[in-house]
Amino acid sequence: NAEPQRRLVGRLVEKIRKNRHEIYDWDERDVEGAEVVVLAYGISARVAAEAVSRARAQGIATGLFRLRTVWPFSEERVRAVSTRVRGFVVPEINLGQVVREVERCAVDDCAVLSVPAAGGEMHDPDAVVEAIVQVHEARAPTRAALAVAG
């Protein structure tokens, strides 16, 4: 029956929303003082960590924001970080579902660059480093200027 289903799902979603601050879980590395932050989750976070290390070796102040929970999305923290960085790089092994959440939460002058990977292949850390460099070198970063075709 549709009505009991709607009530049950509505109650569960509301319960999660009310308790989101207890549920959010993420890990940050070198985010304080970073100019570019790579936001990743799942297996992409390992590739992202390598890319962050390589970018830092090139002298780019880069941090890693690793989501442990994807939903509810850690929007308050992402918004706070977005006020202090040039932009986010979001590698995902899909066509960019989480990047949309980052775009929604980031302040207007914070660039958000999607690095999608579809077809079951992992990201190459060099591709993520290239995205980091692109965000870092953008004179006036904007979402439109840094959008990657997906």
Q: Which pLDDT does position 94 carry in this prediction?
A: 86
**pLDDT-derived band at 41, boundaries 50, 70, 90:** very high
20: pLDDT strictly greater than 80 = no
Residue given tokens 């990977």 in the structure block: 117
* Location of structure tokens 């962050």: 52
Adjacent-strand bridge partners of 88: 37, 112
Token representation of residue 59: 């002298």
pLDDT of residue 149: 37
What does the buried/exposed string (b/e) look like for 62-88 if buried means 16 or more CB atoms within 10 Å of the residue's CB?
A: bbbbbbeeeeebbeebbeebbeebbbb
Q: Which of 14-28, 40-54, 127-141 has the lowest mean pLDDT?
A: 14-28
Q: What torsion, rounded to 10 degrees, do the Cα atoms 72, 93, 132, 104 define?
A: -30
Q: What is the pLDDT of residues 60-112, one digit of tens each?
A: 999 999 999 877 889 899 999 999 999 999 999 988 889 999 999 999 889 99
Q: In the structure encoding, which two tokens stand for residue 129, read together?
A: 């480093």
| Sheet arrangement for strand 26-29 | 26-29, 62-67, 36-41, 87-92, 111-116
CB 65 within 8 A of CB 28: yes
